[in-house]
Amino acid sequence: MRLVLLGPPGSGKGTQAAVLAGDLGVPAISSGDLFRSHAVAGTDLGRRAAAYSSAGELVPDELTVSIVAGRLAEPDCRDGYLLDGFPRTLGQAGLLRDRLAAAGMRLDGVLELVVDEEEVVRRLAGRRTVVDGVEVVRDDDRPETVRRRMQVYREQTAPLSEFYEAAGLLTRVDGNGDVPEVSARLLRVVPRTPRPSPR
Ligand code: AMP
């Protein structure tokens, strides 16, 4: 199963991705976590990505696609994965579709968490994140950066909802409420059988 979980910052995507991936028996792949691990390890890629992330901006598509594609080529992704935070632009979505098609594959579904903006801002205030076993407050969870991330989401990522709807892949799920409630809604609708192959 190859799935995408869409949703704005603070929609609970990371938490729900872990629940869903566990249930489906596939790895959850978070582009944000990949960038943070590189940053903690002090790699050149990590430094380049952090310059964008700490300002609430998106990392350029080529850099993002190359790091995610590298991760998806690892053996644990052979039978599928749940993507969390990727794709985030129409450009990335097109590149993902083309790369999958070139390998005779395609996505099986996209779930979108729909959350009220006040709930998102409330959740992000004071959020703690674990990076390589250490609990930190993310630079990009500061209030002014959160506002910029929301704006970036509306402008660059929200259009993916229509893109995937047009492809017949999208299911919208109410993301308001507590974690178990939202998990239960997602688990009710998550696709469990792969779509037939294109050929
Ligand atoms: P996240 O943990 O998913 O909220 O991602 C944290 C930050 O990493 C984002 O604010 C972006 O700066 C960067 N990032 C993560 N995923 C992507 C992506 N698919 N495209 C561009 N930038 C990304």
Q: What is the residue-wise DSSP string for 61-89? A: HHHHHHHHHHHHTSGGGTT-EEEES---S
How much is the average pLDDT of 175-186? 96
Q: Is the CB of 59 under 6 A from ligand 1?
A: yes
43, 77, 176, 184 from 188: Cα distances, Å: 40, 23, 16, 6
Q: What is the DSSP letter of 178?
A: -
Residue 87 Cα: closest atom of ligand 1: 19
Q: Give the mean model confidence (pLDDT) for residues 174-190.
A: 96
Higher pLDDT: 132 or 190? It is: 190
Residue 163 has phi, psi (to 5 degrees) of -60, -45
pLDDT at 147: 83
The reported pLDDT for the residue numbered 198 is 58
d(CA 17, CA 12): 8
The structure tokens listed for 179 are: 């974690």
Select which of 138, 142, 148, 172 is catalytic. Answer: 138
Task: Establish whether residue 140 lines the binding site of ligand 1, counting it when its CB lies within 6 angstroms of any ligand atom.
Answer: yes
Instruction: Assess whether the C-beta atom of 63 lies below 6 angstroms from ligand 1.
Output: no
Q: What is the pLDDT of residues 107-124, one digit of tens each?
A: 999 999 999 888 887 777
pLDDT at 197: 66
Digit-coded pLDDT (tens) for 123-171: 777 677 787 888 877 777 777 788 888 899 999 999 999 999 999 999 9
The CA-based diameter of the chain, rounded to the nearest angstrom, is 49
Question: Which residues partner with 111 through β-bridges?
Answer: 5, 171
Q: Rounded to an integer, what is the distance from CA 13 to the centroid of its chain? A: 7
Query: What's the CA-to-centroid distance between 189 and ligand 1, angstroms?
Result: 26
Quick check: helix, strand or coil at residue 180? helix
Cβ 6 vs Cβ 110: under 8 Å? yes
Once rounded to an integer, what is the mean pLDDT over residues 20-25? 96
**pLDDT greater at residue 134 or residue 199:** 134
Q: 11 CB less than 6 Å from ligand 1?
A: no
- In single-letter form, the type of residue at position 102 comes to A
Q: Among this protein's residues, is 138 annotated catalytic?
A: yes
Nearest to 28 by CA among 97, 80, 99: 80
User: End-to-end distance of the chain based on CA atoms, in angstroms?
Assistant: 17
